[in-house]
Amino acid sequence: MSILSLKDGVPARNQADQIPWPQKAPAACPISAVKSRLRSVGLRPTRQRMALGWLLFAKGDRHVSAEMLYEEALRAREPLSLATVYNTLRQFSEAGLLRQVSVSGPKTFFDTNVSEHHHFYNEDDETVVDIPGSEIQVSGLPVAPEGMVVSSVEVIVRLRRADGQETVAKLAGSGRA
């Protein structure tokens, strides 16, 4: 259950709610929408941000790792470094355009769906799938330390094959997330 950010006891407005997003088809996601989205959160629409924004948001809600997005950029013949991809994903996350989903140690996915929801993480093929926020009820949260407020609670349900068999090929690099 995600809890809205509070400032002086008043829920903060989610910046992602201000622009209809994400579009479900690339044809419905013109480059001007990417530019508007970046500007609405105070990011300058550089060539790199525009290219990565298009790759991220034109396909609707999805989960990508930095490496997956880097591979997509290479296939799209965008001359970007992996460091640029990491920096841009961090900037998009800090601006509220993406949610970071840390699934295992350093393994992090970036979610284009910033609404209240949770995740399944399939350990066998390293994929992440949304769970609607209404399907999980969290109760009994501890009281936050003095001077702090709970900003969110995110549940990650880990999955693996019930028969104990290992998946033959990992699909993490395939773009399926």
Please tell me the predicted confidence (pLDDT) of residue 75.
Answer: 95
Q: How many CB atoms lie within 10 A of CB 12?
A: 12
User: CA 133 to CA 154: how far, in whole Å?
Assistant: 9
Q: Which is more confidently placed, 21 or 71? A: 71
pLDDT at residue 174 greater than cutoff 60: no
Cβ 95 vs Cβ 42: under 8 Å: yes
Please tell me the predicted confidence (pLDDT) of residue 82.
Answer: 96
Residue type, 110: F
User: CA 53 to CA 29: how far, in whole Å?
Assistant: 10
5 CB burial (10 A radius; 0-12, 13-18, 19+): middle
Each residue of 8-46: pLDDT tens digit?
A: 333 344 433 333 344 444 445 678 889 999 999 999 999
Q: What is the pTM of this model?
A: 0.70
